[in-house]
Amino acid sequence: MSVSFLYFSGFAIALVFALVLTPLVKKFAFAVGAIDKPNHRKVHTRIMPRLGGLAIYVAFAAGLLILLPFAPEGLFDSSDMNLIRAMLAGGTLIVLIGALDDRYELSAKVKLVGQLAAACIVVFGFDVKINFVNIPFGGSMQSIAEWISIPLTVFWIVGVTNAINLIDGLDGLASGVSGIAIGTILVMATLMGFEPIILMSALLLGGIIGFLFFNFHPAKIFMGDSGSLFLGFSLAMMSMLAFKQITIVSFVTPLLIIGVPLSDTFFAIVRRLVNKKPIFAPDKGHLHHCLRELGFSHRKTVLIIYGIAAFFGACAIIQAVVIRSDAANWVTFVVVCLLVFGLQIGAELIGIVDKTKRPVINFIQRTLLRVDTESRSK
């Protein structure tokens, strides 16, 4: 089997598995009582089945098990297989924790313990961790001590896993944004020739698209925590490893890949601190809530956020392409500055932190008014 056919087959197999399994998972969710009931914080108005993440996970895992025996000899070395096994082992535990939460609504502490356990399996069981970083304007790649590497890796995995979970508030939102991020990783891994990430990205993308057929508005099933946690874990692993130890690209690139969930999580933390509320307290101030309040329909809100995610993905690809050039550090600096400025302006316009305070916009308006007044006086 040729390499390109292997990757295409992986996408197709996962897509078919997800299309076939999702209706079966829907029936299973109703049978075991894994359902989501409407309340004041939720958009849906009827009881919905959860557990949809099982379809994505099984499509991914089954695709791997089917295709690996047919992979060309020498395509994956021992290090590559170690990454794949780490992804399967940690992902299986994450899906189990998410599925139990979909049925029994576990406490936040229990879920956090499960996520930490999955991260520890990856780090200590398979010795997969961030060992080097390429710091802009720092010259060559910098090795980091193990006492920093281990907690940094665990923090990254747990943080990104929860970031995807936080944006899972509208039909097709978390699955679509995750699909765009996975697609970005697939493009970058293809450009860099990192075979295990190409295969896993193709499988995940096929599973997500197959599931999205049933999850896009109006959704027939929710992916639940089994899906959002698994996709978050997968994104954490592959955004960290898609470039052979993150060393080939700046540390900024993985942040861009998952820019939407990370920025929404950041603003959620700031919003709760400003309003003197617990950081983990749920609210209706996330990006999708703010866009809905501005009058956008359910479908348009999701499509707008898809567009933002695609923009972040494009920036990540551009960043990865130019990273080896002499101007790479300056490109990184300019991209980060423009994105931070754009995020702040966007946050103030939609009121994601505070509906009344717009410090940067007010400063710009005052500055323009002063310049206009001075020019008129002359």
- Is the predicted pLDDT of residue 121 greater than 90, yes or no? yes
Per-residue model confidence as pLDDT tens digits over 215-239? 998 889 999 999 999 999 999 898 8
Per-residue model confidence as pLDDT tens digits over 69-80? 988 888 888 888
Mean pLDDT lowest among 151-155, 189-193, 202-206, 304-308:
189-193
As a whole number of angstroms, the distance between CA 286 and CA 353 comes to 9
Share the mean pLDDT of the chain. Answer: 84
Q: Is 165 annotated as a binding residue?
A: yes
Domain range summary for the chain, segments of one domain joined by +: 3-377
- Is the predicted pLDDT of residue 210 greater than 70, yes or no? yes
The amino acid at residue 184 is T
C-alpha dihedral sign at 119, 231, 92, 42: positive
Amino acid 199: pLDDT: 93
Q: Is 215 annotated as a binding residue?
A: no
The owner of tokens 């991020």 is: 181
**Cα 191–186–60 angle (5° rounding)?**
145
- Is the predicted pLDDT of residue 147 greater than 60, yes or no? yes
Per-residue model confidence as pLDDT tens digits over 229-279? 999 999 989 887 654 444 444 556 777 888 888 888 888 888 888 777 777
Pair 205, 13: CB distance under 8 Å: no
- Residues 6 or more apart whose CB falls under 8 angstroms from that of 109 comprise none
Burial of residue 232, with CB atoms counted within 10 A of its CB: 0-12 exposed, 13-18 middle, 19 or more buried: buried
Residues of 25-34 as b/e, b for ≥16 C-beta within 10 angstroms?
A: bbeebbeeeb
As a whole number of angstroms, the distance between CA 311 and CA 295 comes to 23
As a whole number of angstroms, the distance between CA 331 and CA 337 comes to 10
As a whole number of angstroms, the distance between CA 220 and CA 110 comes to 28
